[in-house]
Amino acid sequence: MKRINEIQNPRKKVLFLGYDEKQTHLIDALVKNNCAVDHTENKVEPVSGYDFVVSYGYRYILKQNVIDGFGCPILELDIAYLPYNRGAHPNFWAFYDNTPTGVTIHLIDGGVDTGPIVKQRFVNFEKEDDTFAKTYAALIENIEGLFLDFLPSLLTDDWTAKKQRGIGTHHYAKDLPSNFSGWDSIIEQEIARLDKEGLKYE
């Protein structure tokens, strides 16, 4: 666990899981808003005393006992328009399955991207000339922008969350086909090729 800053009488005490301050400017935004911030990208055990936890680019699934042990809201920043494309590679499956593209801030509840939704933003793309890498970058920009827009409400405890509606979709990392050309491929062309060849797994 890394202590980002030392503040007397901080506005909020925050644990940031996942990306560090070189990978995202959201940690700096919290610091500038007089929050005391701790950070780790490693697997955590519950620690009391935080006002909220932010999970962004975090590689571990938090189990229910860990969630309960923190005793505070745990917010995940997700580049999927939930309940669609829960789990791995939402940027691929949103286009391949023709489901909505967007970003979501939601509470972590012990499932995989199943927690109540706090904020969402639909993001529209033109598949004709977009690559998967380009849309990924746009989704990252949008989820960070959504968090910054939401931050004043988060810091004043003026927010609510609502249960996800609909069945949605879910994918595992192993579901990404082995004949996928890669993230720099043009989306429309790649989907047409995969539709013709079929999804292959080695």
24-28, 36-40, 59-63: range with lowest mean pLDDT: 59-63
Computed over every residue of the chain, the mean pLDDT equals 96
**In the prediction, which pLDDT does 110 show?**
85
Structure tokens given for 178? 């082995």
> Prior bond to 10 cis, omega within 30?
no
202 pLDDT tier (thresholds 50, 70, 90): confident
Read off the pTM: 0.95
- Mean pLDDT score, 181-193: 96
- For residue 53, the model assigns a pLDDT of 98
In angstroms, the CA 44 to CA 67 distance is: 10
Which long-range contacts (C-beta less than 8 Å, at least 24 apart) are formed by 92-98? 92/132, 92/176, 92/180, 93/169, 93/171, 93/175, 95/125, 95/127, 95/132, 95/135, 95/187, 95/191, 96/191, 96/194, 97/169
Domains assigned to the chain:
2-197 (3.40.50.170)
**61: DSSP letter:** P
Distances, alpha carbon 167 to alpha carbons 20, 29, 193, in Å: 33, 34, 28
The whole-angstrom separation of Cα 29 and Cα 202 is 44
Share of residues in the chain with pLDDT > 90 (%): 95
Amino acid 129: pLDDT: 81
| 52-56 vs 2-3, strand pairing mode | unpaired
- Nearest-angstrom CA–CA distance, 32 and 171: 37
pLDDT digits (tens, 9 = 90+) for 142-151: 999 999 999 9
Whether 42 contacts 18, CB under 8 Å: no
pLDDT at residue 128 in the model? 72
User: Largest Cα–Cα distance of the chain, in whole Å?
Assistant: 61
Digit-coded pLDDT (tens) for 69-89: 999 999 999 999 999 999 999
- Residue-wise pLDDT for 90-144, tens only, equals 999 999 999 999 999 999 998 899 999 999 999 999 877 899 999 999 999 999 9
- Residue 184: its pLDDT value, please? 97
